[in-house]
């Protein structure tokens, strides 16, 4: 057993971290004890070496309470002893900087330093203590040198010899002043004071040395205990401390520049650190007032709800929520748990951002997008209308009335019947009704009633269910009516529809529902029917080949498309349009001469627009020159068997004799070009050979005079 000297027990002087910031900082500046004891709620709870704290912190307004707490050692982990010390307990004491001393009642009355224990052990002069001292000195990692009153080294450990790079024979009973600073040794003997952290560098060694007096019961110095620490190791520790200090500075700098509010919370939910950019409207007080406070308790007090801290602790995963303050502020809070090796929460990092303005801007952006989509829809509608009008090439008053009629009916879902000769553009008119109307964003389907066999037309229109008939698709089929739901179904050549199907079509128009083949369940539909025909349905009704009731159901809005010969003023526009399409497609530059346009305009065009388009393509493909003149056009028009039956058409009123002269000139030129001789031309024209000769010569003379001008 080892007896502890009571005079070596030092009183505990503590600093309370509960007091205001300036109060404990002032206490810290005036503190002289080498160990700093911390008190909270009137109870001692930890200690820290004062010099260690000062190495990593500047004791000023930036010093944080959390720095004291985080770097301190809980007193529950510190060795506690009475007046006597056993060998195991002695080793535990030597391994720590201090040990707490209790009285007989178990109350802590002070503390004793490790160096004082070693000195006491050295002073107790008995064999057992000497052996014990030797064991202890050997086990201590720091260098220990014991100097007597004659200033000779009377004991040391192996660690000290290694640090000084010497052997035991060169150290034992040698003057301590040959190895260490003689002035410091003299100062300790004369003043009975401890000298700490002295840097001593020689050619061989670099060490950090502490000089402590060894005193008797009368406080007289009987020797000196020299404790040596290897400087490279100390430098490494200092570099690590400096590194930690720099990291701390970087962390503070980062936190001060981050736009978001950053909170650092421990595993109990207590706030231990925060960034400069905190949301004052949310906390309604300075955030430093909440240091050490439990954020979960603040939720219970109604400061905010829900608590991110509580949710992270409960779920042990990242949590993102939106909190709303009493004054209407919206805060986006994201909590991230920091886990240790065992998966337990060590810290919680909470990033919060005021999203009130963001939410407002998001709402405004949503409204702007809504308006933008409306504008886009309107623009798309305009584009669709433009595309429609690009296909509607006209300048005649008759077509102008047709387009006005289309514009009027486009916003209604009435059934439309388009009739006119083949090739006048009935499908283009049907597409215009679709694109200009309210169903423009819905399907437009076309079905030619004359192009599909009678036995298949019903299944195409109404569809069929599984296994309805032999050869049917095993999955059934959706008909045109169902596909065109909410859109338009264009039934071309409606006059070709069999009578058996006319009854079913009439039911669709009346009931707005269909029954697929093989089913008895009606399916409601919303389809606008646009039908077209080149036949006289009234005559077919009279003949019994078309149902009268269906005719009246279809003929709600009749639209008549005039033939091309009825609107000859549209021919030049259409011819130019078709020629431009060919030029663009084949990268050509064809154009029609005025006389060519005149010939095209007077032709009857029994095939209407379709025939005109084909003729323009034929002329462009066959032309040798970029200019297509009247003679070239005449060759192709003359080849048409319709030409002899055709009657010339004039688009404006001219004097009768001028019209006669014009027709006469064109016929004579055409006849001479085809038959080459006046005799044959006269026979084809039904006049005398002399008349043809005289008139033809006059025409040639007039053309020659015009060319000379």
Burial of 20 (0-12, 13-18, 19+ CB in 10 A): exposed
Q: What is the pLDDT of residue 643?
A: 44
The token pair at 381 is 């509608």
pTM above 0.75, yes or no: no
Among candidates 669, 706, 709, 705, which has minimal Cα distance to 685?
669
pLDDT at 445 over 90: yes
Instruction: Please give the backbone phi and psi of residue 150, each rounded to the nearest 5 degrees, phi first.
Output: -85, 5
Tokens 């033939």 found at: 563
Mean pLDDT of 551-575: 92
Distance CA 570, CA 572 (A): 6
Per CATH, the number for 142-257 is 3.30.450.20
Assigned fold of 260-347:
Beta-Lactamase (3.30.450)
The answer to whether 142-257 and 260-347 have equal CATH topology is yes
**Distance, C-alpha 430 to centroid of its chain:** 43
The better pLDDT of the pair 10, 128 is held by 10
Q: Is the pLDDT of residue 62 over 50?
A: no
Confidence of residue 13 (pLDDT cuts 50, 70, 90): confident
DSSP symbols for 271-319: EEEE-S---HHHHSS-GGGGTT-BHHHHHHTTSSSS-HHHHHHHH-S-E
Q: Which residues contact 132 (CB under 8 A, 6 or more apart)?
A: 2, 87, 90, 121
Write down the pLDDT at residue 131. 56
Structure token pair of residue 584: 């663009």
Q: 392-562 has which CATH code?
A: 3.40.50.300
What dotted CATH number matches 564-648? 1.10.8.60
Q: Which two tokens stand for residue 576?
A: 């130019």
E-strand stretches of 525-678: 528-533, 557-560, 591-592, 627-628
The answer to whether 494 and 418 have CB atoms below 8 angstroms apart is no
Pick the CATH number of 1-140 from 3.40.950.10, 3.40.50.300, 3.10.580.10, 1.20.1330.10: 3.10.580.10
Using alpha carbons, select from 289, 328, 290 the residue that is nearest to residue 309. 290
Question: Cis (ω within 30 of 0) for the bond into 350?
Answer: no
The CA-CA-CA angle for residues 221, 227, 231, to 5°, reads: 145
Split at pLDDT 50, 70, 90, the class of 42 is confident
Phi, psi angle pair for 47, to nearest 5°: -145, 165
Predicted local distance difference test score (pLDDT) of residue 135:
62
Tell me what the pLDDT averaged over the chain comes to.
80
Residue 207's contacts (CB-CB under 8 Å, 6 or more residues apart) are: 143, 163, 164, 199, 200, 201, 228, 229, 230, 231
223, 485, 505, 530 from 513: Cα distances, Å: 116, 10, 10, 17
pLDDT > 80? residue 114: no
Which range among 262-266, 290-294, 369-373, 654-658 shows the weakest confidence by mean pLDDT? 654-658
**Cα 367 to chain centroid, rounded:** 19
How far, in Å, CA of 202 to CA of 32, rounded?
31
Per-residue pLDDT at 591:
92
Rounded Cα distance, 3 and 82, in Å: 9
What the block records as the tokens of 661 is: 């002269």
**Residue 252 Cα distances to 57, 63, 255, 258, 351, angstroms:** 13, 12, 5, 10, 15
- 459's enclosing H/E stretch is helix 454-462
Measured CA to CA, the distance from residue 330 to residue 320 in angstroms comes to 13
pLDDT, tens digit, 9 for 90 and up, residues 357-370: 777 777 778 888 88
Q: 238, exposed or middle or buried, with CB in 10 Å at 0-12, 13-18, 19+?
A: middle
Q: Which comes out higher in pLDDT, residue 93 or 568? A: 568
Task: Report residue 58's pLDDT band, with 50, 70 and 90 as the boundaries.
Answer: very low
**221, 213 contact by CB (below 8 A):** yes
Q: What is the pLDDT of residue 89?
A: 62
Q: Rounded CA gap, 252 and 378, in Å?
A: 55
Domain ranges for the chain: 1-140, 142-257, 260-347, 358-390, 392-562, 564-648, 653-709
Handedness of CA 573, 574, 577, 578 (dihedral sign): negative
């Amino acid at each position: 057993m080892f007896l502890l000297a009571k005079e070596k027990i030092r009183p505990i002087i503590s600093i309370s971290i509960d007091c205001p910031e300036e109060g404990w900082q002032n206490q810290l500046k005036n503190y002289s004890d080498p160990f700093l004891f911390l008190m909270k709620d009137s109870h001692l709870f930890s200690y820290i070496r004062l010099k260690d704290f000062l190495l990593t912190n500047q004791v000023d307004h930036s010093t944080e309470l959390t720095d004291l707490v985080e770097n301190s050692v809980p007193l529950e982990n510190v060795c506690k002893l009475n007046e006597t010390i056993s060998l195991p307990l002695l080793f535990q004491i030597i391994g720590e900087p201090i040990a707490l001393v209790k009285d007989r009642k178990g109350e802590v009355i002070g503390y004793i330093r490790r160096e004082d224990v070693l000195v006491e052990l050295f002073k107790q002069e008995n064999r057992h203590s000497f052996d014990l001292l030797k064991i202890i000195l050997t086990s201590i990692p720091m260098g220990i040198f014991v100097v007597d009153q004659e200033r000779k080294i009377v004991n040391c450990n192996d660690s000290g010899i290694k640090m000084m790079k010497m052997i035991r024979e060169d150290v034992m009973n040698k003057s301590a002043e040959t190895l260490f600073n003689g002035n410091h040794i003299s100062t300790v003997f004369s003043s009975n004071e401890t000298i700490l952290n002295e840097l001593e560098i020689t050619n061989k060694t670099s060490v950090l040395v502490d000089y402590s007096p060894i005193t008797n019961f009368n406080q007289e110095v009987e020797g000196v205990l020299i404790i040596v620490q290897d400087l490279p190791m100390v430098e490494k520790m200092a570099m690590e401390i400096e590194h930690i200090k720099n990291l701390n500075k970087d962390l503070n700098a980062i936190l001060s520049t981050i736009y978001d509010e950053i909170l650092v919370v421990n595993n109990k939910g207590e706030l231990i650190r925060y960034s400069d950019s905190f949301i004052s409207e949310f906390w309604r007080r300075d955030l430093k007032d909440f240091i050490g406070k439990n954020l979960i308790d603040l939720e219970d007090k109604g400061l905010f709800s829900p608590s991110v801290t509580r949710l992270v602790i409960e779920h042990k995963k990242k949590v993102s929520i939106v909190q709303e303050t009493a004054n209407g502020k919206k805060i986006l809070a994201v909590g991230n748990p920091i886990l240790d090796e065992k998966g337990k929460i060590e810290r919680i990092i909470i990033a919060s951002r005021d999203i009130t303005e963001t939410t407002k801007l998001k709402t405004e952006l949503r409204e702007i997008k809504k308006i933008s989509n409306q504008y886009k829809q309107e623009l798309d509608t305009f584009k669709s209308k433009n595309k429609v009008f690009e296909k509607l090439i006209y300048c005649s008053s008759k077509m102008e009335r047709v387009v006005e009629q289309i514009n009027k009916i486009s916003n209604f879902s009435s059934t439309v019947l388009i009739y006119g000769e083949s090739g006048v553009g009935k499908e283009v008119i049907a597409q215009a009704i679709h694109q200009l109307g309210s169903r423009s964003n819905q399907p437009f389907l076309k079905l030619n009633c004359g192009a599909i066999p009678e036995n298949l037309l019903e299944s195409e229109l109404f569809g069929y269910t599984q296994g309805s008939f032999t050869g049917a698709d095993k999955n059934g089929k959706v008909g045109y009516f169902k596909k065109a739901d909410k859109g338009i179904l264009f039934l071309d050549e409606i006059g070709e529809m069999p009578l058996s199907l006319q009854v079913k079509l009439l039911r669709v128009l009346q009931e707005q529902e269909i029954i697929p083949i093989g089913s008895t369940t009606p399916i409601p539909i919303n389809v606008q029917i646009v039908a077209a025909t080149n036949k006289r349905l009234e005559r077919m009704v009279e003949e019994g080949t078309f149902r009268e009731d269906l005719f009246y159901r279809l003929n709600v809005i009749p639209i008549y498309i005039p033939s091309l010969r009825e609107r000859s003023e549209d021919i030049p526009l259409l011819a130019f349009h078709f020629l431009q399409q060919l030029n663009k497609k084949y990268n050509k530059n064809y154009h029609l001469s005025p006389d060519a346009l005149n010939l095209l305009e007077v032709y009857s065009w029994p095939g209407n627009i379709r025939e005109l388009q084909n003729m323009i393509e034929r002329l462009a493909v066959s032309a040798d020159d970029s200019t297509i003149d009247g003679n070239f056009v005449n060759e192709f028009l003359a080849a048409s068997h319709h030409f002899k039956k055709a009657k010339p058409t004039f688009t404006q009123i001219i004097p009768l004799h001028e019209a006669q002269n014009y027709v006469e000139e064109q016929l004579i030129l055409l006849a001479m070009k085809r038959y080459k001789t006046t005799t044959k031309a006269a026979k084809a024209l039904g006049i005398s050979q002399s008349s043809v000769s005289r008139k033809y010569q006059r025409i040639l003379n007039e053309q020659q005079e015009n060319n000379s001008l």
